[in-house]
Structure 1
Amino acid sequence: MKRSAQLANTNNEIKEIVMAGGPVAIRRAQPRDAEATLTLLKGLAEHEDSSQHVHLTLKQLEEYLHRDDVIIFLAEVDGSQIGYSSALRRTYFWGGSEIIALDDLYVRASHRNKRVGEHLMKAMAGQAAHDGLTVMWEVTPTNVAGQRFYSKLGAKLSTKVIATWTPEHYGFIV
């Protein structure tokens, strides 16, 4: 049975779309959504066995949600948040342009395989399309299901090693 869902456009307006699996609203997160968004972010970290790496505070997230370069879409069912996508609009020097750097895409386990992630990605694509920007993100080599999902959306996958350099690792040279 197909039901309607709501999808936010780049102006944060809600428009009606049709999807299977029940009504879902996709909208741009506002500062008042910081607590629910942080809960989802921690849910993702727990799912990835990475909770120890989450240091974001509620106050920080509230401040980030006031920024135009921070893009977070929430998926909701009956006013309850069930997923999110987050990104940052930033400069891409090689391209001489800006990109949307997708950080996270997460849907609670109870709502997976119901096209919620697809609609969160469509919202992000709509945001990028408004200014003709490319969306870039990382996916771990072991996340085969994620790679398959992104490929079905038309994303080009390429292999790259990601390096991180934390203060405790670069401190010895400064």
Structure 2
Amino acid sequence: MNTDIIIRKAVESDSEKLWALMEQLAVFENYIDSFEITPNIVKESGFRKSPPDFYCLVAQNEDQIAGMLVYYFLPYTAQNKPAIYMKELYVEENYRGQKIGEQLMTALKKEAIKNNCSEIKWTVAPWNKSGQNFYERLGAKENKDWLNYEWKV
């Protein structure tokens, strides 16, 4: 494991690099044609709004951002406790295999505990077998009780 990696909360000056990672994820997950995020949107939505639209953890290696984990809170659940919804987890290709994703997920779990959350939720593309295997290695379980629906407006 790379001991030079520091996991920390993202700050506004990370906006450009976060946007670049989000764009790389859009390419990886095949939605780049509908990707409308800009560096300014990242800055405004994540760091200048109160409360922000999203929160973000980053894995920093010296002056480089090696990975990110974007999340937000679901404040109202049936358990009367908030939940965290993980929107994006992405590690740059040249940093993969160094347990950075695991470090980001561990930091997210600590954030969930700190905020009295009942659970962490996310979705994974059915074709992303390596992602599914990664989450299962961490102890996550696929929720087969619910189907995802979308209604475009």
State if a TM-score over 0.5 links the two structures: yes
Q: Which residue of 1 aligns with 2:41?
A: 60
Deviation track 1:88-130 (CA, whole Å, cap 9, x = no partner) reads 1122332322111000100011111110000011111111010
**Higher normalized contact order (CA 8 Å, seq sep 6+, divided by chain length):** 2
Where structure 2 has 5 or more consecutive residues not aligned to the other structure, the ranges are none
Match runs of 1:82-121 below 5 Å: 82-121=66-105
Alignment-mate amino acid for residue 59 of structure 1: N
Correspondence 1:40 to 2:40 = no
Which of 2, 18, 30 does residue 49 from structure 1 map onto?
30
| Mapping for residues 158-173 of structure 1, pairs under 5 Å | 158-159=143-144, 160-167=146-153
Matched residue of 1:64: which SS?
Answer: helix
Higher strand share: 1
Q: Supply the RMSD in Å over aligned alpha carbons.
A: 1.6
| Amino acid aligned to 2:57 | F
Question: Which deviates more, 150-159 or 107-116?
Answer: 150-159
SS of alignment partner, residue 87 of structure 2: strand
> How far apart are 1:147 and its partner, in Å?
1.4
TM score, norm. by length of structure 2: 0.88
Q: Any stretches of 5+ residues in structure 1 without a counterpart?
A: 1-19, 168-174
Higher mean alpha-carbon deviation, 41-50 vs 155-164, is at 155-164
Query: What is the CA distance between 1:61 and its match in structure 2?
Result: 1.3
Please give the TM-score of this superposition, normalised by the length of structure 1. 0.78
Give the equivalent residue in structure 1 for 2:2. Answer: 21
Separation (CA, whole Å) in 2 of partners of 1:126 and 1:97: 15
Contact 2:81 2:116 in 1 (8 A): no
Following TM superposition, the consecutive aligned residue runs of length 4 or more in structure 1 with deviations greater than 3 angstroms are none
Do the aligned residues in 2 keep the contact of 1:29 with 1:65 (CA within 8 Å)? no
Letter in 1 for 2:132: Q
Instruction: State the SS of the aligned residue for 1:92.
Output: coil
Return the offset for 1:21: 3.2
Determine which structure has more spread, i.e. the larger CA radius of gyration.
1
TM-superposed CA distance for 1:42, in Å, is 0.3
Q: 2:91, 2:101 within 8 Å by CA — same for their partners in 1?
A: yes
Following TM superposition, by how much is the alpha carbon of 1:140 offset from its aligned partner in structure 2, in angstroms?
2.0
Q: Aligned pairs, how many? A: 148
Judge conservation of contact 2:82–2:116 (CA < 8 Å) in 1: no
